[in-house]
Amino acid sequence: MSTDVMWSSLAWPGSEHVRCTHDGRWHADGAAVHALPGGPARVGYRVVADADGRTRQVSIEVTGRGAPARLVLSGDGHGGWTDAAGGHLPALDGCLDIDISCTPLTNTLPIRRLGLAVGESADLLVAYVLVPGLELSAQRQRYTRLPGTGSAPAYRYESGDFRADLAVDGEDLVVDYPGLWRRVPV
């Protein structure tokens, strides 16, 4: 089964397309094109999560803005991470999820994995990738399941001083990320 999703950026000129497939594992292959300070950039990414929703593989490539940059990570599903050469990344110890700064797609991973009931919250540590430079750090985040509207679920996402109420669809893919992204029909 596959699902195609597109978002339009609200904070800067840009758009994104991702195809999500499920075969016991969850695969997302996406590309975002954004007009960023310093020029336009294309960000291609692939994320693979295991059957329990833990991020296992990530590859990101940024082109079109200076020298191309590439990041490849593997997660062991228990909070350990390695780089493309197999080197351990201790700064990411304890992270089960990835958060790529330029896409709302990666909000789906913890939302889906956590399976929160309305009113429940969860604090987590994620491997955060800041695009376009692909700087990597561990970041504390919180998700809270909100009542939503009708049959559409909603979640409050918090990280540091940042807070946003995200509307998602039945597959936990972001429909509206206020001020940053809005889903467009495919």
- Residue-wise pLDDT for 130-175, tens only, equals 998 999 999 999 999 999 777 778 999 999 999 999 999 989 999 9
- Residue 86 CB: number of other CB atoms within 10 A? 7
Full-prediction pTM beyond 0.85? Answer: yes
Q: Identify which has the larger pLDDT, 139 or 185.
A: 139
Distance CA 95, CA 186 (A): 32
Query: So what's the pLDDT on residue 149?
Result: 73
3-state SS record for the chain = CEEEEEEEECCCCEEEEEEEEECCCEEEEEEEEEEECCEEEEEEEEEEECCCCCEEEEEEEEECCCCCEEEEEEECCCCCEEECCCCECHHHCCCCEEEECCCCHHHHHHHHHHCCCCCCEEEEEEEEEECCCCEEEEEEEEEEEEEEECCEEEEEEEECCEEEEEEECCCCCEEEECCCEEEECC
In this predicted model, what pLDDT tens digit does every residue of 64-98 receive, in sequence order? 877 789 999 999 999 999 999 999 999 999 999 99
Contact 69, 132 (CB under 8 A): yes
Distance CA 18, CA 77 (A): 23
Distance CA 9, CA 3 (A): 20
Confidence of residue 179 (pLDDT cuts 50, 70, 90): very high
Calculate the average pLDDT of the chain: 94
Query: So what's the pLDDT on residue 2?
Result: 92
Contact 129, 44 (CB under 8 A): no
Structure tokens at 140: 């504390």
In this predicted model, what pLDDT tens digit does every residue of 90-107 receive, in sequence order? 999 999 999 999 999 999
Query: So what's the pLDDT on residue 129?
Result: 97
Q: In the beta sheet, which residues pair with residue 92?
A: none
Distance CA 100, CA 132 (A): 10
Query: Tokens 């692939």, residue?
Result: 46
Percent of the chain with pLDDT over 90: 84
In this predicted model, what pLDDT tens digit does every residue of 20-32 receive, in sequence order? 999 999 999 999 9
Query: So what's the pLDDT on residue 128?
Result: 98
